Structure 1
Amino acid sequence: MRRLAGAPFFTMLYLKNIVAALILPPLGPLMLVALGLLLLGWLPRIGRVVAWSGIAVGLAMITPASVGTLLEPLEDIPAVEPASLAGADAIVILSGGLRDYAPEYGGSTVNRITLERVRYGARLARQSGLPVLVSGGTPSRQANARGPGEAQLMKQVLEEDFRVPVKWVEGRSLDTRQNADFSAQLLLPQGVKRVVLVTHAAHMHRSVEAFEHAGLAVIPAPTAFFGGPGKDDNLLPKLPGINTAYAGGYAAHEWVGILAYRLSR
């Protein structure tokens, strides 16, 4: 299990985020275009190829057909069957970020990604009666000791808005692997070995791998599917737009994350 903490880990985390921003949409394709334009004066043929490649990648990341192709293998785990919940010991809900400025909620609250996961986790908790663990830290707040982290906000939303009690709060983790490692540290000593894991469908493969590596058996409970099982009922819009761009960026992020997992083994 990874036990990185303190300033070195925060430095690596921010560097990782900077690299991801540079290679993922929307900035990644624009960087390719800019590089191609810079090369035109010295290597015009290569410069044109690079610039047009950036344009092609940018268009691909907002086009439903290509985004659906990226999403299909990520979202191939079906929705959980209620009967399978009987074999679990707990429900684990992963965070996906927070909304720092939410004056209508008195300060900050969970963002749309976390809320989608929390809502489904609450539904499963009511169906099964299983205890709930929420997992997720906040890099800036942990570095500056400022305000509640994501897990604390998840607990607040679950208990106040959904009337679902939270038994465990794991608020140290800063990425999916740490979600798994630190959750396992809380659960395994208490005899919890099999968990229902709630996260976005596109994030499920990476999450299952991390939690199984941490020593927990996993029942995947994906939510918030971007795509669908076939072209006729695909949930993506038929034309390029902001929703497709969001789904394409999410899919690209997951594929880069999966590649990083493979390379770090």
Structure 2
Amino acid sequence: MFFLKKLVGLLLQPPLLPLVAIGAGLLLQRWRPRAGRVLAWGGLALAVALVAPPVVDALLDNLEDLPAVQPAQLEGAGAIAILGGGARTNAPEFGGQTVNRITLERLRYGARLARSSGLPVLVSGGAPSGSQPEAELMKRALEEDFGVPVRWVEAASLDTVDNGRLSAAMLQAAGVRRVVLVTHAAHMHRSLEAFQAAGLEPVAAPTGFLRRGPSDEPQPRFPSMNSAFAGSYAIHEWLGLLAFRLSH
């Protein structure tokens, strides 16, 4: 079921979604030329739209609407929970495997919060591909690279729902209910709902904002690798949020 969900998700988000529409349109032209052309050109328009910065920003508006956490919000919390976002399996310079850049952004901010608050840290992330669990790689990075100890290692989760459910079991056993939740801003709404459904009281501590901020340069922005990544990430999160709400 996990891999089926991932396959459906890949087909419904860029870059495959526009390519599927274009390919289907080209095949359809043999029997329905007009419909085929409309579908193919529609796929091309969709591909351009999903890398256009104004469209990407619009997709991120309601995902990244939670502000940065303030020191007063950390009062009463019992732990910092940092969610994994993937791993690099080809990292010979790190001994074979390490966290990817998404996870690293989360770890950096989680380490900053841990040092400023003194709260203990939980890392959460399994091994969907069957390699070393993300949480173990996260623990190593936090302790060796950031000098921040990790108290709990949740290494069995395969998705955000698992992050919440399995982390809650560890934290509640230690008497922790209020937890500072660190993940990407676009992933925060889905994560908050998963942790709330698991019986915890999460405090949003978003990082890695993808939307252009008010301090950015005013000149027009053009499609780029960054906007393509942000658009794909946004579609992924909207699909994930929809699936979570339909199943809960």
TM-score under structure 1 length normalisation? 0.90
In 2, Cα distance between equivalents of 1:95 and 1:104: 21
In 1, Cα distance between equivalents of 2:220 and 2:8: 30
Q: In the TM superposition, what whole-angstrom CA distance separates every residue of 1:211-231 from its partner, at most 9, and x where no partner exists?
A: 00000001100000001455x
Letter in 2 for 1:247: A
1:181 maps to: 165
1:94 maps to: 83
Letter in 2 for 1:243: N
Displacement of 1:52 in angstroms is 1.5
Displacement of 1:234 in angstroms is 7.5
Q: Indicate how the Cα distance of structure 1 residues 214 and 22 shifts in structure 2: closer, same or farther if over 3 A, else same.
A: same
2:187 maps to: 203
Q: Indicate how the Cα distance of structure 1 residues 107 and 57 shifts in structure 2: closer, same or farther if over 3 A, else same.
A: same
Letter in 1 for 2:176: V
- The equivalent position to 1:76 in structure 2, one of 62, 65, 80, is 65
SS, match of residue 129 in structure 2: helix
1:124-163 superposed matches below 5 A: 124-141=113-130, 146=131, 148-163=132-147
SS, match of residue 195 in structure 2: helix
Q: Indicate how the Cα distance of structure 1 residues 234 and 49 shifts in structure 2: closer, same or farther if over 3 A, else same.
A: farther
1:263 maps to: 246
SS, match of residue 85 in structure 2: coil
Q: Is contact 1:26-1:58 (8 Å) kept?
A: yes
Q: Is contact 1:64-1:237 (8 Å) kept?
A: no
In 1, Cα distance between equivalents of 2:199 and 2:96: 37
Could you list the structure 1 runs, at least 4 aligned residues long, displaced by more than 2 angstroms after superposition.
Answer: 232-237
How many residue pairs align between the two structures? 248
1:83-122 superposed matches below 5 A: 83-122=72-111
2:19 maps to: 30
SS, match of residue 21 in structure 1: helix
CA RMSD of aligned residues (A): 1.6
Q: Does 1:218 align with 2:207?
A: no
Q: Indicate how the Cα distance of structure 1 residues 73 and 135 shifts in structure 2: closer, same or farther if over 3 A, else same.
A: same
- The equivalent position to 2:56 in structure 1, one of 67, 70, 76, is 67
Structure 2 unaligned segments of length 5 or more: list them: none
Letter in 2 for 1:245: A
Letter in 1 for 2:237: E
In 2, Cα distance between equivalents of 1:64 and 1:236: 12
Structure 1 unaligned segments of length 5 or more: list them: 1-11
TM-score under structure 2 length normalisation? 0.96
Q: In the TM superposition, what whole-angstrom CA distance separates every residue of 1:123-169 from its partner, at most 9, and x where no partner exists?
A: 0000000000000001122xxxx5x3100000000001101000000
1:48 maps to: 37
1:250 maps to: 233
Letter in 2 for 1:125: A
In 1, Cα distance between equivalents of 2:196 and 2:186: 17
Letter in 1 for 2:155: G
In 2, Cα distance between equivalents of 1:54 and 1:235: 30
Q: Does 1:170 align with 2:154?
A: yes
In 1, Cα distance between equivalents of 2:199 and 2:85: 22
- The equivalent position to 2:211 in structure 1, one of 216, 227, 230, is 227
In 2, Cα distance between equivalents of 1:183 and 1:251: 25
Percent identity, aligned pairs only, is 60
